[in-house]
Structure 1
Amino acid sequence: MGTSRLFRIFVVLGSAFMILLIIIYWDDVGVSHLYLHTPVSPGPKIPHAPPPQRPQTSRTPSFLSDIDAFVNQFLEPGTGEPTDPVPPDTSNQSEKAEERYIPRREWKIHLTPLAAELRERQRRRLLQEMCANDSVVFPGKNRSFDDIPNKELDHLIVDDRHGIIYCYVPKVACSNWKRIMIVLSESMLRDGVPQRDPLAIPRDLVHNSSMHFTFNKFWKRYGKFAKHLMKVKLKKYTKFLFVRDPFVRLISAYRNKFELRNEDFYRRFAQVMLRRYGNQPTPPASVDEAFSVGIHPSFSHFIQYLLDPQTEKEMPFNEHWRQVYRLCHPCQIQYDFVGHLETAEEDAEHLLRQLRVDNVVEFPTSHRNLTASSWEADWFSTVPVEARRELYKLYEPDFRLFGYDRPEWILNE
């Protein structure tokens, strides 16, 4: 009996001793086995230049932070390293330039909502099916990527730093996505430091072509190797675009370019519409003069302009109303992510998480007065039914490629 009790005492003391030993030697022994990509021991000391220092941040105790990192390596794709690798400093810039690297702000424990994941998969699957469907016909559908003219590749923005290609579609939150691409590619500096706040980037710079490296610029930089490099990046990089209901996008373009004072669009397009369809043989010379007397093309005039064969004989559709299949070539480029403006916030969060930059930048929430789908019937009430049906034929590929229902309530009234 005494021997059994003495044995139990030794077992308890031995266990306590082992627990104490683990706590004391945790950082030196145990943690090194948590990361498969971290050496177990530092190895022999060989003289070499000191590595660049990461920005100092407050940390939780080593034990807890290591546990957090260990958990997150199973929740997020990648190597499981606690932070992204710091790029080497190759320049002698100011101290602020040391902040070039944008660290992940924190380790989030989160999973992509199943509904968002399934929805996005369905969109990509539908796009592939429609491109293979012979009943969906539109110009350029069956050409190869090599056959796409260089001038038609100007909407594909490349970020080599993160391996991202974004095809921007005007009137589909492209201003905010361009802002994000500027932040990620670090193409805008402020006092020698990359701009990190998307909303701090002025609107005139957002749409300045010099701020973005697009596919159509490859020829100037790479010459005869341009097309090959494009295809390499298309294969290796994550490619995404955002779309919206085609008719609602047209309404949004009209509101923005013709109901507001825009001198450039007034001279290039509004005056043409007023002369052809508005019974204004000599429209006012400037947008201010036109607005002062209450003259601007109606939405019906705008639709007439789109349907007029003479329009595209003079020049291709402006990017604000050009079809998405002509801007982004979805049957030649296999997109990894197709977002919809109607679910923009959820889709943006999902995408940034998928790109592993959700702790670097957030999609700016827009509080502007957006064009609602429910307004379609009111806007098209002044457009003859036959014209509506012709317009649908013009944009039918976008409806079908991206999963938007045929608007029967507009086409059959």
Structure 2
Amino acid sequence: MGYPGVWMTESEGLIYRVVPKCACSTIGQIMFFSDHGRFFDGDIHDSATGLHKWSQDHSKPAIENAVRHGNALAFTCVRNPYARILSSFFDKIAGIQRNGRRYRGNLVPQLAQQYGVDVGSLENGFAFDQIASFRRFLLFARDTIRWRKPMEPDIHWSSMSGHIGTFIANGGHYDRILFTETLNDGMAQILQSARTPVAVDLSRVPRFNESEGHGPKRAYPVSAYFDDLSRHLIWEIYKDDFQLFQYDFDNPDNKMPLGEIDLDEVHAKLGC
């Protein structure tokens, strides 16, 4: 199976397991800068040089060797599950992608037909009932994860533990797991430990979000989107994410983790 979703600096000091909707664009750009002293011109997901990626055949031997010998600092990053699934909805379902089109072509029309999801349009200023449409999308997301119908689950709303577990199951070991909510502090510790070729001033690093400004903004507090049924669905599909990564299920408006992550527990539970 290898190491899907893994990126590594060309200097081989940092290995990162990408988790979508968890600051992955910003983290990738920081890694790129730490080797080259500049940011990648464009979306870091589109880079074909300057950063090792498992999806690039020429990168696989280097990544395999680094994981096997434990030479690089390996890390990943997580985010509050409530905020993450909302971000997935507003970016991938309600938003327009950087190519000017809807995500995955016919996905939004399919959601409109089968689940009654309405996301408005650029022409009407993305006017729609955000709460009702999000809850219907959440039912769809649960169906894809639980029963893989009407499609396989998308990487942007698949569980974080599922993404993170593939690295462990194939012999990898995380040195750190960061919180998106305290990204600068976490990346500062990573960069201090890894001794990268180029120093990175994190206070000057912008947040890289290619979807920003291409869709509707969230109009309500996080808790407004989650009634009892929605919270039941969230627990059903993200129970491990809440428990392993210490997020507050009882208060959707509390985006901060309740405690530190137990790396031994993560490796034990996700390495099975």
User: What is the TM-score with the length of structure 2 in the denominator?
Assistant: 0.70
Aligned-pair CA distance for 1:305:
1.0
Bigger radius of gyration: 1
Match 1:400 to one of 236, 243, 260:
243
User: What residue identity is the alignment partner of 1:167?
Assistant: R
Match 2:94 to one of 237, 251, 259:
259
User: What residue identity is the alignment partner of 2:178?
Assistant: G
Alignment correspondent of 2:269: none
Comparing both structures, which one devotes a greater share of its residues to helix?
1
Provide, for residues 176-207 of structure 1, a one-character-per-residue CA deviation record: whole Å limited to 9, x for no partner: 11112222344xxxxxxxxx233xx3333x12
Name the SS for the 2:75 alignment partner: strand
In structure 2, what is the Cα distance between the partners aligned to 1:271 and 1:171? 23
Give the 5 Å matches for 1:183-332.
Answer: 183-186=33-36, 196-198=37-39, 201-204=40-43, 206-211=44-49, 212-217=51-56, 220-221=57-58, 229=65, 231-233=67-69, 235-262=70-97, 263-265=101-103, 267-278=105-116, 294=127, 298-309=133-144, 312-313=148-149, 315-329=151-165, 331-332=168-169
In structure 2, what is the Cα distance between the partners aligned to 1:296 and 1:261? 17
Provide, for residues 49-95 of structure 1, a one-character-per-residue CA deviation record: whole Å limited to 9, x for no partner: xxxxxxxxxxxxxxxxxxxxxxxxxxxxxxxxxxxxxxxxxxxxxxx
Alignment correspondent of 2:268: none
Aligned-pair CA distance for 1:339:
0.8
Identity %: 21
Name the SS for the 2:162 alignment partner: helix
Q: Give yes or no for contact 2:8–2:63 (8 Å, CA) kept in 1.
A: no
Match 1:380 to one of 202, 206, 226:
226
1:181 and 2:19 matched: no
In structure 2, what is the Cα distance between the partners aligned to 1:279 and 1:228? 42
Q: Give yes or no for contact 1:238–1:336 (8 Å, CA) kept in 2.
A: yes
User: What residue identity is the alignment partner of 2:159?
Assistant: Q
User: What residue identity is the alignment partner of 1:213?
Assistant: H
In structure 1, what is the Cα distance between the partners aligned to 2:10 and 2:115? 47
Provide, for residues 133-168 of structure 1, a one-character-per-residue CA deviation record: whole Å limited to 9, x for no partner: xxxxxxxxxxxxxxxx34xx3310022414210112
Match 1:169 to one of 12, 19, 39:
19
Q: Which runs of 5+ in 1 are unaligned?
A: 1-148, 187-195
Number of residue pairs the alignment of both structures matches: 234
In structure 2, what is the Cα distance between the partners aligned to 1:376 and 1:294? 19
Provide, for residues 244-282 of structure 1, a one-character-per-residue CA deviation record: whole Å limited to 9, x for no partner: 1111111112122233323231634211110111188xx
Alignment correspondent of 2:195: 356
Aligned-residue CA RMSD (Å) = 3.6
Name the SS for the 2:103 alignment partner: helix
In structure 2, what is the Cα distance between the partners aligned to 1:227 and 1:178? 16
User: What residue identity is the alignment partner of 2:102?
Assistant: D
Q: Give yes or no for contact 1:240–1:335 (8 Å, CA) kept in 2.
A: yes
Q: Could you tell which deviates more after superposition, 328-337 or 168-177? A: 328-337
Provide, for residues 100-150 of structure 1, a one-character-per-residue CA deviation record: whole Å limited to 9, x for no partner: xxxxxxxxxxxxxxxxxxxxxxxxxxxxxxxxxxxxxxxxxxxxxxxxx34
In structure 2, what is the Cα distance between the partners aligned to 1:349 and 1:279? 41
Q: Give yes or no for contact 2:142–2:233 (8 Å, CA) kept in 1.
A: yes
Higher relative contact order (CA 8 A, sep 6+): 2
Name the SS for the 1:236 alignment partner: coil
Aligned-pair CA distance for 1:314:
5.0
In structure 2, what is the Cα distance between the partners aligned to 1:362 and 1:288? 37
Provide, for residues 351-392 of structure 1, a one-character-per-residue CA deviation record: whole Å limited to 9, x for no partner: 2111123962233144989x99x92211224xxx23421221
